[in-house]
Amino acid sequence: METLHLVLRKFANSDFQDFSELIRDKQASKYAIYDDQFPTDEENLRNILLYFAGTDEFFAVELKSENKVIGFISLNYTDDSTRNLGFCIHTNYQGNGYAKEAVSELLSYAKHKLNVHRLISGTAKDNIPSVELLKSVGFSITGENIGSFVNDESGNPLEFTTYSFECIL
């Protein structure tokens, strides 16, 4: 898939350097506590990249002008008519509209190529950029819950408010 600035494609082994930078950046960001935790050591990063490359659910987000992977986007299988949308853009490239460009393209792909009728997603209420992006491409908030992906130094869950989203295609 191709947009004005991006190519959305399968991951390849040659993406390892960019992928490593992306995941390490993701884990260092202020939003890291709001998502599943990724390991950042080389062996595990190679294994994750192999997994991403071997599935039809994850796509590399490549910036055409730099031939560089700046993110990933996913459509994880939920059932035959529903997928769960996820996305991550390296902080150095945020604020340029690339996430919206990638999500918009993937919405079209899900509807026209996969014949998916419904997308779901979720993010922390405090992740305002993601909340606003999802709303801007047609998602509606369908619920509010308490979530936790990490623990504090004492082993207690770091809880936060999450939004559930839905988009009917």
- How far apart CA 131 and CA 46 sit, in angstroms, is 30
Alpha carbon 48 to its chain centroid, in Å, reads: 14
pTM of the model: 0.92
According to CATH, what is the number of the domain 1-168? Answer: 3.40.630.30
Residue ranges in the chain assigned as alpha helix (H): 16-28, 42-53, 98-112, 128-136
Among 60, 56, 51, 57, which Cα is nearest to 21's? 60
**pLDDT grade, residue 31 (50/70/90)?**
confident
Q: What is the pLDDT, as a whole number, of residue 73? A: 98
Backbone φ, ψ for residue 12 (5° rounding): -135, 160
Residue-wise pLDDT tens digits, 98-157: 999 999 999 999 999 999 999 999 999 999 999 999 999 999 999 999 987 878 889 888
